[in-house]
Amino acid sequence: MSEKETRQSGGSPEASGVTVRDIQELIRRKEEIEAQIRANYDVLESQKGIGMNEPLVDCEGYPRADVDLHQVRTARHNIVCLQNDHKAVMKQVQEALHQLHARNKEKQARDLAEAHREAVSHGLGQSQDLSPAQAFATGNSISPGSPASIAGLQVDDEIVESGSVNTQNFQSLQNIGSVVQHSEGKPLNVTVIRRGEKYQLRLVPARWAGKGLLGCNIIPLQR
């Protein structure tokens, strides 16, 4: 939902619920603004390489005849406005990422509590403690703003389960890649071990500003 639509509906971005798609749309808008800024700077460059601050009058105080004054003034005005727009969009991106991280942390806590209750109700708590799940891979880099980062995945998290892939059926990273490709835009349950604690994450593979659908580098663990 755009800022304009949010104002019209009378709700805040937090109330309407920020999604990964919202952040992707903001990033797309940011890139559009950056392209427009570059285009206007190209206009200035075409006018004798004039910049944002060079005078538009000659040494005698008359309007310069060697440049298109209207084009220069228009390009300068556009750049100032677009830079303000860029600053506003970057602020929206930061706020949206903050809200999404906060919501994911709350959901992670709820999921952990629910998983614990289910384990106790089925008498599995003790057996899980005695036979902890073995991790088969880990993430050694996470790109900021990526789907993996938004889901809460951290560097050195040990992956126990990624969708249908687990320790028992994991053979190579192609197993994970296949699941990710078939889960684009769909929530993927990921279980990780972090400093001895087990965490349940909800990862949504999606197109974003960087490469791939996750924005992280996963390597197999050597046991």
pLDDT in tens, 115-148: 767 766 655 444 444 445 788 999 889 999 899 9
| In a shared domain, residues 214 and 154 | yes
CA pair distance 20, 214, nearest whole angstrom = 12
| In a shared domain, residues 80 and 36 | yes
| In a shared domain, residues 141 and 202 | yes
Alpha-carbon dihedral 5, 6, 10, 15, rounded to 10 degrees: 150
Which residue intervals of 122-160 are DSSP H helices?
125-130, 147-151
Give the per-residue pLDDT at 121.
Answer: 64
Residue 101, pLDDT > 70, answer yes
CA pair distance 221, 223, nearest whole angstrom = 6
Domain assignment of residue 127, yes or no: no
| In a shared domain, residues 189 and 109 | no
| In a shared domain, residues 24 and 107 | yes
Question: Is the pTM here over 0.85, yes or no?
Answer: no
Domain assignment of residue 7, yes or no: no
Are 173 and 218 in contact by the 8 Å Cβ rule? The answer is: yes
Q: pLDDT tens for residues 8-34?
A: 434 444 445 788 888 899 999 999 999
Are 72 and 63 in contact by the 8 Å Cβ rule? The answer is: no
Domain assignment of residue 9, yes or no: no
Q: Which residues contact 66 (CB under 8 A, 6 or more apart)?
A: 48
Burial of 177 per CB tally in 10 Å (0-12, 13-18, 19+): middle
Domain extent at residue 180: 137-220
pLDDT band at 62 (very low <50, low <70, confident <90, very high): very high
| In a shared domain, residues 27 and 102 | yes
CA pair distance 143, 146, nearest whole angstrom = 6
| In a shared domain, residues 148 and 73 | no
Helix (H) or strand (E) holding 188: strand 188-194
| In a shared domain, residues 108 and 149 | no
Domain assignment of residue 6, yes or no: no
Round the average pLDDT of the chain to a whole number and report it.
83
Domain assignment of residue 126, yes or no: no
CA pair distance 201, 102, nearest whole angstrom = 13
| In a shared domain, residues 38 and 85 | yes
| In a shared domain, residues 142 and 106 | no
CATH number at residue 152: 2.30.42.10
Domain assignment of residue 147, yes or no: yes
Neighbours of 180 (CB within 10 A): 20
Residue ending a domain, among 65, 83, 115, is 115
Domain assignment of residue 185, yes or no: yes
- 102 φ, ψ (degrees, to nearest 5): -65, -40
What domain count does the chain have?
2
| In a shared domain, residues 25 and 111 | yes
| In a shared domain, residues 30 and 79 | yes
Domain assignment of residue 82, yes or no: yes
Query: What angle is formed at CA 18 by the lines to CA 108 and CA 189, rounded to 5 degrees?
Result: 35
